[in-house]
Structure 1
């Protein structure tokens, strides 16, 4: 009987340690939307404000920005309905291939002045590039430029949220 208590404590501790990080990194798919104006043209932004658990995980230390220069420029700087629909199909494919196992997470989508950009935070830039090449190969050549930078503290993301009076949740 003397030994049953320590064994129970060990079992309890081991059950705490056996929880996977995936449990703490559940993706809340709630999005915010905002509009403003820059140089007389609308700025449309949407993003996830429930990514604090990803920030705190310290696993997503870089962001990758995909920038799509619209083929048909409009006076308002917003895509035509057809181009917007096509961009949505591409975005859905990217989310499907990059977020399935939470290798990368789409944080912000920004549209202004005939450009749409997607900001993903990722665990691994090389893995992201492998996946995005596979995903985009299903489409004809797209007008997308890709850049990345280190952002351990998610300063780009939190700065954008602050611009809309939001804090990561």
Structure 2
């Protein structure tokens, strides 16, 4: 357990990529080194939190104020879900009037309760929650496989 914890604390690395889909720019952040979590076979369900917003310009990106609130929400979620590795944030998508956080959970019901707790300090947010079984981390692996080495950079975040 301590080894897994160090993967998301001591030597935390995120990779970011920018791309476009039908001319619409998107940003993607992901953790490239989560294979040890996959091999535990404990994190079999992917939970997606989707925040829909209405951009006020053609970039289809959120306003600075929305970005600040999204960051606070993400920090709150990370605090309650990753403190004991109950769920792991694997990648985050931003663009086309939505932000998505993709978590892999060891127990969906518990994750749901913790998400409610984490969000209880905020006003009502335009967030939708969905989950699906993904024991092979197919969605995560598709992100990893789809990232073009020349378009992403590593970010040290803690």
Structure 1 residue 158 corresponds to structure 2 residue 132? no
Alignment match, 2:74: 91
Report the secondary structure of 2:88's partner residue.
Answer: strand
The RMSD of aligned alpha carbons is 1.2
**Structure 1: segments with no counterpart, 5+ residues:** 1-21
Report the secondary structure of 1:82's partner residue.
Answer: helix
The alpha carbon displacement at 1:75 in A equals 1.5
Conserved 8 A contact 1:73-1:114: no
Answer with 1 or 2: which has the greater Rg: 1
Structure 1 residue 149 corresponds to structure 2 residue 96? no
Q: TM-score normalised to the size of structure 1?
A: 0.82
Q: Distance in 2 between matches of 1:162 and 1:86?
A: 30
Alignment match, 2:110: 127
Between 25-34 and 46-55, report the one with greater CA deviation: 25-34
Alignment match, 1:111: 94
Structure 1 residue 25 corresponds to structure 2 residue 25? no
- Closer/same/farther in 2, CA of residues 102 and 43 from structure 1, 3 Å limit: same
Conserved 8 A contact 1:94-1:132: yes
Q: Distance in 1 between matches of 2:104 and 2:62?
A: 25
The alpha carbon displacement at 1:73 in A equals 4.4
Conserved 8 A contact 1:94-1:135: yes
Superposition map of 1:45-60 within 5 A: 45-60=28-43
Structure with more contact order per residue of length (Cα contacts < 8 Å, sep ≥ 6): 2
- Closer/same/farther in 2, CA of residues 107 and 153 from structure 1, 3 Å limit: same
**Structure 2: segments with no counterpart, 5+ residues:** 150-158
Q: TM-score normalised to the size of structure 2?
A: 0.88
Conserved 8 A contact 1:54-1:60: yes
Alignment match, 2:57: 74
Deviations 1:95-133 (A, max 9, x none): 001000000000000011010000000000000011011
Deviations 1:5-49 (A, max 9, x none): xxxxxxxxxxxxxxxxx1232333210000000121101000101
